[in-house]
Structure 1
Amino acid sequence: MRDGFIRVAAATPKVRVADTVFNGEQVVRLMGEGYEKGAKLMVFPELCLTAYTCGDLFSQQTLLDGAQEALRQVIRATAGKDMLVFVGLPWERGGKLYNVAAAVKDGELLGLVPKTNLPNYQEFYEARHFCPGNEIPVEAAWEGGTVPMGANLLFSCKNAPGLMIGAEVCEDVWVPCPPSIRHCMAGATVMVNCSASDETTGKDAYRRELICGQAARLVCGYVYANAGEGESTQDLVFGGQNLIAENGTCLAQSRRFVNETIYADLDLERLTGERRRMTTFPAGEEIRRADHYQVVEFSFSEPDCSGALLRAVDPAPFVPHDQGQRSRRCEEILSIQAMGLKKRLEHTGCSHAVIGISGGLDSTLALLVTVRAFDMLGLPREQICCVTMPCFGTTDRTYSNACTMTKRVGASLREINIRRSVTSHFEDIGQDLENHDVTYENGQARERTQILMDVANQVGGMVVGTGDMSELALGWATYNGDHMSMYGVNASVPKTLVRHLVRYYADTCGEKELADVLYDVLDTPVSPELLPPKDGEIAQKTEDLVGPYELHDFFLYYILRYGYAPSKIYRLALIAFEGQYEADVVYKWLRVFYRRFFSQQFKRSCLPDGPKVGSVAVSPRGDLRMPSDACSRLWLEELDRIHGQENKL
């Protein structure tokens, strides 16, 4: 299965109450549509072959016989179709009636999962007709043979690694301890639910939260198919709200009061990778043995979701798209950063902070965070010492912004021109001032760091680091230069998010003069300003040298958060940045990222302390225990191979 994606569908057929012939035909019709659209797993509502609202007609043998004939119709229709289908119907066994989800694949009935929690309150009277299902599987007679029947059935795909499916029926997911908990602990990565949940005011929001929440706590995919139009409206209305969720995210949702089929591509590698990291997630095999699970195996002839993905791929995974959510996220992150610095200042007894202020994004954010921390401590802002250190590459624009910003927030400002000291140092080591190599650049960065440390000693303060996570991932920092500080407030903030944090502060600070300078900082090209300017303008643009940060942050997220392979990240990047970056450009900068990420770990292995703000961080004491001497060969070779294959197409 390419990149671990599987296409799933949740379908609501229009039904006629007790008309099993019509209902079977509608299920078969939708199955055909799902097959044409590449669905490998398709889920239909509870009791949809009869309709959920048959009431006492469930005691009629004619209806039960009709349901079985409709099931035969569905089974025949799956022959030759490379898809697994779950469909709801009543099932008689041992003189008792059960509400089951039947699993059908390629002309064969694989198993029956009975509903174990029967609602018998308010509008529900299921115990009048059905018995609670058995957990431990037993054999149920079918067509001269038997099929397994029980709640503890899992359906495992032999040639799609990571695909193991468990099933619930409606109310099962609404109870305090849903069967899906046990199923996922036993190894299920995808849950299906054949449901008939009626509509009442506000129930749709709760239903969505319920399904998404269950997918989150169980780190699974969840495919929920609900009954809709066609059910009896004698006392109830069914809205057909179908949902497909993955680890807390709603990938697809149907409209209410309209019978629809929804599709989405579940990412099994994301789910299995997440579980692998969680040492608290149990090992499924032991639980399957202890709870007497039966695993029914099947296979797909083409377990491949190789076409266009039916899921959004966010080009900015660190940044929420919704304005309200983004504002809340920015406020939260600023508070986390400030709280971290506040504690460190309190613990060390420092009443001063020292920041190298450049007029760039990172030092701007560090200053804003420090201001917030000082306000929390009740310390005067003038005890924040901002040091601007112009040298060969400093431009009037960044210098002016640094000075204006410091004044507007009420911090103190020291200007220390380092041209003379750097020039003297270059003379000492025999460095030609006209040779603008790495020594020329790094000599300035280390001189600035030395000054900041010494000024901190002078005032009894702490050097607040400014470097962000994107730079640390790429190793775009001078070792023992801007790489070093006494507390790095931006250490787990990616560059794409730094920009939004500064913009949020500008939008909400309520001070026009400060906001204006922050907006100008946002419009300034990202640069270390270590090379002389050209015609007064910045000559050294970081993204021209190491690549666009929006690409690198995308790579960083999927490499560290989910451990995706290079081929998958390359594919996702092509989707996310379609129309913005050509394939060769994505390949070029992804290769640069891997090469630098591996070779520059030695810088991350000795990072200063700093607060983690999101799900991805590079602290050597926490999220990234990576050896400094690891080789990137396997990753680069796979990337080269997949890019070569793409070019041959």
Structure 2
Amino acid sequence: MFGYYRVASAVNKTIVGNPAKNAEEIITLIQDAYAKEVSVVVFPELTLTGYTASDLFLNQTLIASQNEKLAYILQQTSDIHTIAIIGLALLEADRLYNCAAVLQNGKILGIVPKSYLPNKKEFYEKRQFITGRDITRTTTELYGEEIPFGVDLLFSDSKEMTFGVELCEDLWAVTPPSNHMANNGANLLFNLSASNELIGKAEYREELVRTQSGRCMAAYVYASAGVGESTTDTVFGGHAIISEYGSTLAQNERFSLENTLITADVDLERLRWLRLNESSYSDGRRKKTRIIKVDNLPEITTLDRKINPMPFVPSLFEEKKHRCDEIVQIQAHGLIKRMSHAHITKAVIGISGGLDSTLALLSTHRAFEIMGWDHTNIIAVTMPGFGTTSRTKSNAVKLCEALGVTLRTIDITDISHKEFEAIEHNVNEHSVTYENVQARARTSILMNMANKEGGLVIGTGDLSEVALGWSTYNGDHMSMYAINSSIPKTLIQYVIEYFKYDESIADVIDDILDTPISPELLPHKEDEIVQETESIVGPYALHDFFLYHFIKYGAKPAKIRFLATLAFEGKYDQETITKWLKLFLKRFFTQQFKRSCMPDGPKVGTISLSPRADWKMASDADVEIWLEELEK
């Protein structure tokens, strides 16, 4: 399943001091997890006895009963491939340790002791237990078997998954053991906990789990003791949380009187490759660890996870104003720095009435507002040609007038005819030459006007076009500052819509958003656009999706197709997705030469294709093996 694993956090009904009854609930939850194709399920701390048994841990009867019922659990789960991580008190070398036991197919794979023991306020673990943080390369004997024991244990299926285990307070320490586990390759982390409830603690707890998953570039699964642990002066709520790389995928409703089991499908393949692509992870110090091989795990038959069809666009509407403000601020301040440094006071922008030039103009206008510069020093040039319709030209004019910028109109048809004549091109032959002559004519006009006015040519091309090479080399491919170059088309639409808060331009923005995307280089028919970009290169929603997964963590084409099929279910079938994915791959590879000499532009999101920022690639790299992988 392309590196996806289903993990679970279980909170069992607990009776403190009664391992027999607790064992029955644990077995029920393990069986439930197995039926749901879960690879690994984690339980709360000291699962069999209950965490709040206190000095009863120093009583022989409780420990003996716990060990007896652990053997019973192993017997009852001998044919279950799901790994279960349960808590137990381990007596070893006349010392008592608070531990996590990793079970699979009726066997104990390893036992991990707790490193940090709380000894303050309502928690006094050092009264019964000692720390196991120095225990490495050691075994313990249980049921006549030598079992790996120590904080140096990691568990792996030798494919995509390697996991580590820590216990409760370990996560709250200044340097959690999970940091070291992640440095040694663990991309999945589990925590058995008994965290009591206090006002505001649940929110902090979730934030702690979520941020630790981000710091470790891992998935983090947390299970805390349920309401059955509540006794004396402490109340427990049974908080279960599953997070992945800084985002919480699932958490339960606390204070349930019944067993609870939450699951999530985590993308461990993505996490492994993000570590290569996005961070200084490889500089982390490695320690000696023991890798315990696990048996075959349950395989997911269907993915139970929502795949965002627009990964560049914020999913929460409440974030829209903040996110769009941030994007425009980055664009505006990048431009301010460039113009201030070059002592330039004017900006020259080609305006078509399309999405890209609209955002470039709006962001430039914001820069001038921030600096208190004269808006008339923004020179917007509309350059109608053979395909320009009255709709797009009218929208360009209305927008410029509303913003109070200087508007100039230069018709390029005569210039283009003279160019056709000079190179002996038949004007009726609507080939790439026919289109590129117009694109280069427009760029030439903008460059020359900028020289004349002492201005800076603002590029309008976006990240999606940069990825596909959907530009004319040394035409619209070139500018003096490419303000949109790291913003994909789907995000540009989102940001432009945000500007509708200004009622003076709301109507024209609505019409710009509703206009088909087109370079308007082929002659229109009865004032209607005949050249729609997405019918030629494919839907930008798909291409932005392909781009994100291809660049973000180097996903294989087959996985990209798999995810796209889920994300766009009901909109695009697999055949359509495959068709446009092949085109994306071919264009991405063949058009690298344009990216190798693209102009400066501000990096706005996590992905940029500038050779000076994120992406360095040979201009003549071959695409064959990527296409072959997709076919296989």
TM over 0.5: yes
Aligned-residue offset at 1:298: 2.0
**Deviation string, structure 1 residues 318-374 (Cα, Å, up to 9, x no partner):** 001111212211110100011111100011111000000000010000001111111
Aligned-residue offset at 1:439: 0.9
Contact 1:187 1:283 in 2 (8 A): no
Unaligned stretches of 5+ residues in structure 1: 642-649
* Aligned position for 2:44: 45
What secondary structure, in the 3-state scheme, does the structure 2 residue paired with 1:224 have? Answer: strand
Q: CA RMSD in A?
A: 1.3
User: Aligned residues: percent identity?
Assistant: 48
Aligned-residue offset at 1:251: 1.3
Corresponding residue to 2:400 among 392, 398, 406: 406
**Deviation string, structure 1 residues 220-276 (Cα, Å, up to 9, x no partner):** 111111111221333222111111111111111111112421111111111110112
* Aligned position for 2:270: 270
What secondary structure, in the 3-state scheme, does the structure 2 residue paired with 1:86 have? Answer: strand
* Aligned position for 1:418: 412
Contact 2:345 2:377 in 1 (8 A): yes
* Aligned position for 2:183: 185
Q: Distance in 2 between matches of 1:309 and 1:126?
A: 41
The TM-score with structure 2 as length reference comes to 0.98
* Aligned position for 2:30: 31
Q: Distance in 2 between matches of 1:589 and 1:611?
A: 28
Distance 1:139 1:326, change over 3 A: same
Does residue 298 (structure 1) correspond to residue 294 (structure 2)? The answer is yes
What secondary structure, in the 3-state scheme, does the structure 2 residue paired with 1:288 have? Answer: coil
Q: Distance in 1 between matches of 2:66 and 2:143?
A: 14
Moved over 4 A (4+): none
Corresponding residue to 2:350 among 338, 345, 356: 356
Contact 1:186 1:283 in 2 (8 A): no
Does residue 547 (structure 1) correspond to residue 541 (structure 2)? The answer is no
What secondary structure, in the 3-state scheme, does the structure 2 residue paired with 1:230 have? Answer: helix
Does residue 479 (structure 1) correspond to residue 457 (structure 2)? The answer is no
Does residue 66 (structure 1) correspond to residue 65 (structure 2)? The answer is yes
**Deviation string, structure 1 residues 114-141 (Cα, Å, up to 9, x no partner):** 1111111111121111111143322212
* Aligned position for 1:132: 131
Aligned-residue offset at 1:546: 0.6
Contact 1:445 1:481 in 2 (8 A): yes
Q: Distance in 1 between matches of 2:75 and 2:405?
A: 77
* Aligned position for 2:379: 385
**Deviation string, structure 1 residues 601-644 (Cα, Å, up to 9, x no partner):** 11111100000011111001121101110111111111122xxx
Q: Distance in 2 between matches of 1:299 and 1:449?
A: 62
* Aligned position for 2:99: 100
Q: Distance in 2 between matches of 1:179 and 1:63?
A: 29
* Aligned position for 1:467: 461
Corresponding residue to 1:627 among 611, 618, 625: 618
Contact 1:185 1:281 in 2 (8 A): yes
The farther-off stretch of 274-283 and 423-432 is 274-283
Q: Distance in 2 between matches of 1:477 and 1:282?
A: 37
Amino acid at match of 1:383: N
Aligned-residue offset at 1:279: 5.9
**Deviation string, structure 1 residues 177-222 (Cα, Å, up to 9, x no partner):** 1111111112211111011111111111101110010010111111
Unaligned stretches of 5+ residues in structure 2: none
Corresponding residue to 2:164 among 141, 163, 166: 166
Contact 2:37 2:298 in 1 (8 A): no
* Aligned position for 1:226: 224
Contact 1:46 1:227 in 2 (8 A): yes
Aligned-residue offset at 1:278: 4.7
Contact 2:464 2:540 in 1 (8 A): yes
* Aligned position for 2:565: 574
The TM-score with structure 1 as length reference comes to 0.95
Q: Distance in 2 between matches of 1:36 and 1:145?
A: 29
* Aligned position for 1:646: none
Aligned-residue offset at 1:283: 6.4
What secondary structure, in the 3-state scheme, does the structure 1 residue paired with 2:80 have? Answer: coil
Does residue 156 (structure 1) correspond to residue 156 (structure 2)? The answer is yes
**Deviation string, structure 1 residues 412-460 (Cα, Å, up to 9, x no partner):** 0111011111111111112222111111111111000000000001100
Aligned-residue offset at 1:312: 1.8
Amino acid at match of 2:271: L
Aligned-residue offset at 1:311: 2.0
Q: Distance in 1 between matches of 2:298 and 2:88?
A: 28
What secondary structure, in the 3-state scheme, does the structure 1 residue paired with 2:234 have? Answer: coil
**Deviation string, structure 1 residues 29-56 (Cα, Å, up to 9, x no partner):** 1100100110111111101111111122
**Deviation string, structure 1 residues 115-171 (Cα, Å, up to 9, x no partner):** 11111111112111111114332221211232122122111223x23x211111111
Amino acid at match of 1:83: T
Does residue 251 (structure 1) correspond to residue 246 (structure 2)? The answer is no
